[in-house]
Structure 1
Amino acid sequence: MGPIYYYIMFFVASISALVYYSMWSETSVVHIKEDGQNHILFPARYFDWAVTSPLMLIALSLLGDAPLPAIVGIVGCDILNVSCLFFGAFYGYEHKFFWWATGLIFFAVLLFMLFQELSKASELGRVSQYDADTLRWLTYIFAACWAVFPVVWLVGQTGTSTTSFNVEIAFEVLADVVVKLSFILILIVRLPADGASQYSIKRDMNDIPDYGSAMKSGGWRGNLTSSTFV
């Protein structure tokens, strides 16, 4: 059996393929009439984002040897960001720009935490230079591509409708395909070349500040080794 990255990217690719098929076959299409205009929305797209983006962020966190609290914070902000965009598109109506702005705040916090962990992984020597370079490229690609979605949401059918439906879909699909193909190619092809295909981490919560005596009295311990995935 292969490393954990193989499984993560398998699920990312599979979920995205099924979602795109549902959009193409019009299985998950919702027509909403607002201000006399008919808007075409795809609820499955938000399901895709809510599942695949946390998986990719988990892959980044594992690659950067991030602590559990950081992983929870990054993934949590991502899920809240997608949830806000979803509610703004389907249930917000009069308050949709509030949902968009709130989601943007969560996205900004996500990026801050993501680049903070990237800096720690590189400067503190938590990972090898090879893995640090891989992590840096993937982080930049994820941040750039994922920043497209709130912008397109704002100018597209769900927001101000200042751009055409075809342009909106084109930018969203392009950003989505680029980030996921980049993750697949880099994680699956680049990492094993350096022997970094196995994820190994031993996290003793007693060594993490601010956990105090709760950990000493039998608290949670994370202990994942490469043998778990081989």
Structure 2
Amino acid sequence: MSPDQFDALTYWTLWITAAAMGVGAVVLYVKGRDISTEEGREHAVVSIFIPAIAATMYLAMALGFGVSRITLAGGQEQLVFWGRYADWAVTTPLLLLDLALFAGADRETIGTLLGLDVFMIVTGFFAASSAQPANRYLWWAVSSGAFVVILYVIFAKLPTFANSYGTDRASSFGNLRNLLAVLWFAYPLLWVVGTEGASVVPLGIETVGYAVLDITAKVVFGYALLSSVASLAPRRRETETGAGVTADD
């Protein structure tokens, strides 16, 4: 659709957020260059791609490419920002990967988190794309159910891994996890009151809300994680005997 069909607040918020995400990717790149450990480089790569991908999808939505229009059962038209869900389908698993790697989680736990996350985003897209109101809320409930399971894993499972690497890492992990959990908890609430749900909040305000959440979750969280990695002893360390680098996990 043509971007001139957006209200001014939505239009400029999309452009400003695209630029902010691009700047955020550069900031994380500069921050990552200061970290010389193998673990730090791994996190830097993941963290940089998150706002870079988000910048691309926000640019697509600002240009009208990442947006479509559907007709609801009652005859009214509804905008679906599918570019937002395409963004989340890639960036939110990367955020969980960043957090899980920081905790030192095993592959099974990481795979479980990533699978749950993709399921959550896909079913959320089904909710946004459904013409029937009942179907929209049903898919929202399914998506929210996956989110609850993700919360269980990051609060009940990941701390066990982080604790095995000492109190400093466990404390930093807890702060990062809590920040991400609070931010992510706001997303389904905004969906319910926004244009895809009850339409209590208009499109422009909804777009600003998602933009603030996205920038905080993708840039601020990434910077905080890289800062934590830089201040801690590396989770991966060279052994005094042997020929290479081994992982504690």
1:113 aligns with 2:184: no
State how far apart, in whole Å, the 1-side matches of 2:205 and 2:120 are.
Answer: 23
Give matches, 1:143-182, under 5 Å.
Answer: 143-182=181-220
Q: CA separation of 1:164/1:70 partners in 2, compared to 1, >3 Å: closer, same or farther?
A: same
> In structure 1, the residue corresponding to 2:124 is in which secondary structure?
helix
Match in the other structure for 2:171? 133
Amino acid at match of 2:70: I
Of the candidates 137, 141, 153, which is equivalent to residue 101 of structure 1? 141
Structure 1 unaligned residues grouped into runs of 5+: 201-223
Q: CA separation of 1:147/1:51 partners in 2, compared to 1, >3 Å: closer, same or farther?
A: same
Higher mean C-alpha displacement, 9-18 vs 161-170: 161-170
Of the candidates 47, 53, 58, which is equivalent to residue 92 of structure 2? 53
Higher mean C-alpha displacement, 42-51 vs 111-120: 111-120
1:78 aligns with 2:117: yes
Match in the other structure for 1:220? none
**Cα-to-partner distance string for 1:6-57 (whole Å, 9 max, x where unaligned):** 1101110210111111111212111223224332221111011111111111
| TM-score, normalised by the number of residues in structure 2 | 0.74
Match in the other structure for 1:217? none
State how far apart, in whole Å, the 2-side matches of 1:131 and 1:102 are.
Answer: 33
Amino acid at match of 2:195: Q
- CA drift of 1:117 comes to 2.3
Give matches, 1:21-36, under 5 Å.
Answer: 21-34=59-72, 35-36=74-75
Of the candidates 55, 74, 91, which is equivalent to residue 17 of structure 1? 55
Q: CA separation of 1:225/1:43 partners in 2, compared to 1, >3 Å: closer, same or farther?
A: farther
Whether the 8 Å contact between 1:82 and 1:103 is mirrored in structure 2 is: yes
Whether the 8 Å contact between 2:71 and 2:131 is mirrored in structure 1 is: no
| TM-score, normalised by the number of residues in structure 1 | 0.79
1:65 aligns with 2:104: yes
**Cα-to-partner distance string for 1:84-108 (whole Å, 9 max, x where unaligned):** 1101111463411110001111100
Match in the other structure for 1:88? 127
State how far apart, in whole Å, the 2-side matches of 1:179 and 1:93 are.
Answer: 31
Structure 2 unaligned residues grouped into runs of 5+: 1-35, 238-244
Count of residue correspondences: 201
> In structure 2, the residue corresponding to 1:3 is in which secondary structure?
helix
State how far apart, in whole Å, the 2-side matches of 1:127 and 1:117 are.
Answer: 14
State how far apart, in whole Å, the 2-side matches of 1:147 and 1:110 are.
Answer: 11
Identity of aligned residues (%): 27
> In structure 1, the residue corresponding to 2:196 is in which secondary structure?
coil
Q: CA separation of 1:92/1:37 partners in 2, compared to 1, >3 Å: closer, same or farther?
A: closer
- CA drift of 1:199 comes to 4.7
Q: CA separation of 1:37/1:225 partners in 2, compared to 1, >3 Å: closer, same or farther?
A: farther
